[in-house]
């Protein structure tokens, strides 16, 4: 339930952090690691494709799987939660969007300077020298489930180009983590959307915000336990975010 006091806190906030996880993009049809994959991909464990060792052992298998995911993202559209978050930027003095998602749906909805803690499917780089590589954003035919696709080669060192996401066992990007941590410690309202807070170190951010006295709100379709100091809004991200903005700011245009 969105209380009048919670709506007032958002309305009067000077700095709001929006922290999103897979649940924020689920309504756009973005498959997550926990979804049942289709076709031949059912034979693979996504977690075992998301490591540097797995890529080096079978580059075409890993690259094909990530290209499948990238094309799924390119075919998806931002949902009401993404648009509400972008709208929030015009309602508060300062908004910082920090996401664990590797898609670009926040940007396509209009959010600026999104902090990507887990990298992006659209920012590949050389696995050897780290040089950035540009991919076409055009959504061509979707790679078939199980397709092996030879990765591009780096123009600088001829090494394989790898997906620009954070794999298991890798550190979060230092710059993104520093920005996210500072924002969590400086904000007065922290909205955690579509994440159950079990993936560390990212899950530390709401705890940091709470420790500094911020109002922390969790939005998720599935109930999970939060402390008595936190708020929980149960429901789809799009519905709850649009309702929260209406309660705090009155009618607003959300695409």
DSSP state letters, 175-237: HHHHHHHHHHHH-SEEEEES--S-STTTTHHHHHHHHTT-EEEEEESS-----TTSEEEES-H
CA angle 23, 29, 35 (to 5 degrees): 70
- Contact call for residues 12 and 253 (beta carbons, < 8 A): no
CATH number of the structural domain spanning residue 104: 3.40.50.1220
Residues 138 and 215 in one domain: no
Per residue of the chain (255 residues), what is the pLDDT tens digit? 899 999 999 999 999 999 999 999 999 998 766 665 555 556 677 778 899 999 999 999 999 989 888 988 999 999 999 999 999 999 999 999 999 999 999 999 999 999 999 999 999 999 999 999 998 665 445 555 557 899 999 999 999 999 999 999 999 999 999 999 999 999 999 999 999 777 788 889 999 999 999 999 999 998 888 888 999 999 999 999 999 999 999 865 444
Is 167 contained in some domain? no
Here the tokens at position 109 are 């909805």
Residues 220 and 134 in one domain: no
Q: Where are the beta strands (DSSP E) in 90-149?
A: 94-99, 115-116, 125-126
Residues 241 and 196 in one domain: yes
Give bridge partners of residue 153 from the DSSP assignment: 160
Q: How many domains does the chain have?
A: 2
To the question of pTM greater than 0.85 for the whole model, the response is: yes
Rounded Cα gap, residues 105 and 16, in angstroms: 19
**What residue numbers bound the domain in which 210 lies?**
1-28+78-120+172-255
Residues 180 and 227 in one domain: yes
Active site positions, annotated: 118
Residues 9 and 106 in one domain: yes
Residue with tokens 């049809």: 29
């Amino acid at each position: 339930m969105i209380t009048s006091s919670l709506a007032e806190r958002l309305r009067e906030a000077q700095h709001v952090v929006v922290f999103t996880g897979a649940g924020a993009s689920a309504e756009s049809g973005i498959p997550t690691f926990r979804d049942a994959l289709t076709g031949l991909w059912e034979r693979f464990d996504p977690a075992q494709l998301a490591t540097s060792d797995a890529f080096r052992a079978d580059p075409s298998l890993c690259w094909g799987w990530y290209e499948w995911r990238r094309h799924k993202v390119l075919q998806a559209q931002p949902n009401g939660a993404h648009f509400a978050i972008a709208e929030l930027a015009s309602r508060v003095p300062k908004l910082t969007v920090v996401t664990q998602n590797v898609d670009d749906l926040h940007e396509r909805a209009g959010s600026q300077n999104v902090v990507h803690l887990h990298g992006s499917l659209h920012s590949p780089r050389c696995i050897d020298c780290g040089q950035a590589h540009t991919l076409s954003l055009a959504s061509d035919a979707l790679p078939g489930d199980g397709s092996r696709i030879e990765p591009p080669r780096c123009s600088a060192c001829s090494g394989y180009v790898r997906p620009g996401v954070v794999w298991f066992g890798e550190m979060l990007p230092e710059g993104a983590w520093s920005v996210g941590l500072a924002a969590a410690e400086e904000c007065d309202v922290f909205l955690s959307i579509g994440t159950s807070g079990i993936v560390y170190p990212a899950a530390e951010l709401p705890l940091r915000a709470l420790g500094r006295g911020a109002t922390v709100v969790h939005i998720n379709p599935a109930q999970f336990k939060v402390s008595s100091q936190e708020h929980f809004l149960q429901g789809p991200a799009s519905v709850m975010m649009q309702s929260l903005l209406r309660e705090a700011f009155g009618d607003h245009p959300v695409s």
